[in-house]
């Protein structure tokens, strides 16, 4: 079984594939709306702390579990801790992936819809962008159609094979998307009246603290880095024996965070600059919630020459970024069914596709259901998964094995102090902090 598993070959391919999973709608759609909701700069500060103290160590841990076991998320726990209840952590992860797909695919559908609106030129003629977005929200059939199309597209890549599908698409699209985001960020900052937006983004306002701030930021960090559900376990299972876990995790997290911040620098300055009611812009941002990206950005494009070209390019690249994330999510669920229930890869893919379409249909029709899936996955399931993954590597796994994995059997040099700090973080700091944030957040 082990020999048959494909491994990612090139180093850049490894980072690109993991980054392809991490960078997606979480960065460009969810991060700005969470930041707006969380009061701006303060949210970002807490978010960065979560990436550093929980995100990177947890990503390394997931890589480790995956490569050590060379199995799917649930199978990995089964293999490393046979006959123990740890397998439930893997199963929870698979379920989380499914729940995320259930609302994420709907947003992927919006992205496709906007891509075609840009391509056909109809977006260019719109004068009221909130109304334009609401029209989409109130057309279930249109949403469901795009959502199904996106799910089928994802399934196609899953079926076309791990290496070809995931690695290649990530390598081409990531640099392009990055370049475009930089151009848009510059354009947005140069708008007259953008300074207030930058202030909102970078100047913390302590009056904005709410009890759920920490949980919201932690949930967003997990969601954005694709950790806490074993997605990176599945990816780790494809890594080769020389993959440098720590470096890969740091690179992926840096890239992911940069893209999120760039998205913020695009959205907020333009939201402040282009509003017709400066007094209520923060309220509008918060109320804009899930629509923020789809309402503010078209306004920015209209400020640019050849707006249609920019809009088309942007929504095309955003769809691709979302696709590399949905591929990783669907891969987790599909491989689980394929390997644990011994159903062929093709049949597992079809099964998962049908189930995701069902969940996605309900989310398209019901906004509360959409929100429920979003909150349940990001604020409850991922943090619980993260907590147990950190306990698993910190307490359950043999320390010698953890060191051997981290150093690639001693070929990489880390100081003993560093290794000890890593274990200490996983054993005590991360679990206690995550638990405290979780309980405090849910109570608040």
Shortest spacing between CB 266 and ligand PHE, in angstroms: 16
Q: Are 42 and 418 in contact (CB under 8 A)?
A: no
Which residue's CB is nearer to ligand PHE, number 86 or number 223? 223
Which residue's CB is nearer to ligand PHE, number 26 or number 281? 26
Distance CA 437, CA 99 (A): 22
Residues 6+ positions from 29 with CB-CB distance below 8 Å: 107, 290, 292, 293
Which residue's CB is nearer to ligand PHE, number 227 or number 274? 227
Which residue's CB is nearer to ligand PHE, number 216 or number 284? 216
Residue 122 has a CB neighbour count (10 Å cut-off) of: 12
Which two three-digit tokens encode residue 198? 């930058």
Shortest spacing between CB 139 and ligand PHE, in angstroms: 24
Which residue's CB is nearer to ligand PHE, number 117 or number 325? 325
Shortest spacing between CB 101 and ligand PHE, in angstroms: 9
Which two three-digit tokens encode residue 340? 């644990």
Q: Under the rule (CB under 6 A), what is the footprint of ligand PHE?
A: 21-22, 24-27, 100, 223-224, 226, 229, 231, 325, 328-329
Residue 207 has a CB neighbour count (10 Å cut-off) of: 7
Shortest spacing between CB 309 and ligand PHE, in angstroms: 25
Shortest spacing between CB 221 and ligand PHE, in angstroms: 10
Gap between the terminal Cα atoms of the chain = 47
Pick from 270, 267, 320, 311: nearest CA to 292 = 267
Which two three-digit tokens encode residue 207? 């009056």
Shortest spacing between CB 36 and ligand PHE, in angstroms: 17
> Residue 49: exposed, middle, or buried by beta-carbon count in 10 A (0-12, 13-18, 19+)?
middle
Shortest spacing between CB 220 and ligand PHE, in angstroms: 9
**HSE, side-chain direction, 13 A CA sphere, residue 224:** 32
Which residue's CB is nearer to ligand PHE, number 52 or number 190? 52
Which residue's CB is nearer to ligand PHE, number 212 or number 224? 224
Q: List alpha helices for 341-381, DSSP H.
A: 345-365, 367-375
Which residue's CB is nearer to ligand PHE, number 81 or number 233? 233
Q: Are 39 and 188 in contact (CB under 8 A)?
A: no
Distance CA 377, CA 381 (A): 5
User: Coil, helix or strand for 286?
Assistant: helix
Radius of gyration (C-alpha) of the chain in whole angstroms: 21
Shortest spacing between CB 236 and ligand PHE, in angstroms: 13
Pick from 99, 105, 72: nearest CA to 323 = 105
Which residue's CB is nearer to ligand PHE, number 273 or number 359? 359
Shortest spacing between CB 398 and ligand PHE, in angstroms: 28
Shortest spacing between CB 234 and ligand PHE, in angstroms: 10
Which residue's CB is nearer to ligand PHE, number 111 or number 275? 111
> Residue 398: exposed, middle, or buried by beta-carbon count in 10 A (0-12, 13-18, 19+)?
exposed
Which residue's CB is nearer to ligand PHE, number 321 or number 393? 321
Residue with smallest beta-carbon separation from ligand PHE? 26
Shortest spacing between CB 223 and ligand PHE, in angstroms: 5
Shortest spacing between CB 200 and ligand PHE, in angstroms: 22
Which residue's CB is nearer to ligand PHE, number 223 or number 422? 223
């Amino acid at each position: 079984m082990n020999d048959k598993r494909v491994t990612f070959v090139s180093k850049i391919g490894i980072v690109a594939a993991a980054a392809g999973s991490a960078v997606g709608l979480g960065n460009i759609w969810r991060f700005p709306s969470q930041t707006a909701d969380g009061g701006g700069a303060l949210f970002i500060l807490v978010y960065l702390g979560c990436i550093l103290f929980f995100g990177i160590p947890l990503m390394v841990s997931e890589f480790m579990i995956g490569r050590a076991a060379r199995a799917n998320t649930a199978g990995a726990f089964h293999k490393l801790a046979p006959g123990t209840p740890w397998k439930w952590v893997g199963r929870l992860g698979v379920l989380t992936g499914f729940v995320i797909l259930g609302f994420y695919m709907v947003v992927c559908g919006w992205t496709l819809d906007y891509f075609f609106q840009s391509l056909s030129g109809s977006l260019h003629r719109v004068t009221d962008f909130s109304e334009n977005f609401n029209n989409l929200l109130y057309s279930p059939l249109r949403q469901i159609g795009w959502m199904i199309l996106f799910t089928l597209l994802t399934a196609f890549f899953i079926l076309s094979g791990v290496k070809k599908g995931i690695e290649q698409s990530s390598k081409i699209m990531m640099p392009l998307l990055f370049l475009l985001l930089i151009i848009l960020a510059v354009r947005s900052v140069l708008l007259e009246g953008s300074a207030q937006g930058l202030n909102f983004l970078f100047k913390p306002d302590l009056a904005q603290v709410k009890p759920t701030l920490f949980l919201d930021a932690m949930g967003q960090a997990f969601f954005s880095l694709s950790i806490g559900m074993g997605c990176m376990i599945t990816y780790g299972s494809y890594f080769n024996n020389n993959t440098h876990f720590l470096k890969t995790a740091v690179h992926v997290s840096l890239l992911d965070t940069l893209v999120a911040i760039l998205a913020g620098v695009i959205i907020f300055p333009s939201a402040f600059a282009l509003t017709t009611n400066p007094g209520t812009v923060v309220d509008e941002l918060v109320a804009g919630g899930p629509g923020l990206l789809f309402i503010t950005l078209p306004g920015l494009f209209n400020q640019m020459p050849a707006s249609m070209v920019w809009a088309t390019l942007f929504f095309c690249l955003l769809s691709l970024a979302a696709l590399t994330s949905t591929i990783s999510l669907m891969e987790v669920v599909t491989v689980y069914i394929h390997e644990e229930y011994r159903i062929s890869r093709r049949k597992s893919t079809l099964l998962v596709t049908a189930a995701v379409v069902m969940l996605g249909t309900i989310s398209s029709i019901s906004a509360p259901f959409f929100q429920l899936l979003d909150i349940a996955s990001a604020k409850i399931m991922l943090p619980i998964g993260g907590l147990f993954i950190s306990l698993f590597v910190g307490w359950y796994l043999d320390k010698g094995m953890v060191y051997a994995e981290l150093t690639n059997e001693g070929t990489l040099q880390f100081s003993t102090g560093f290794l000890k700090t890593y274990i200490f973080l996983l054993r005590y700091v991360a679990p206690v902090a995550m638990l405290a944030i979780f309980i405090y957040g849910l109570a608040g």
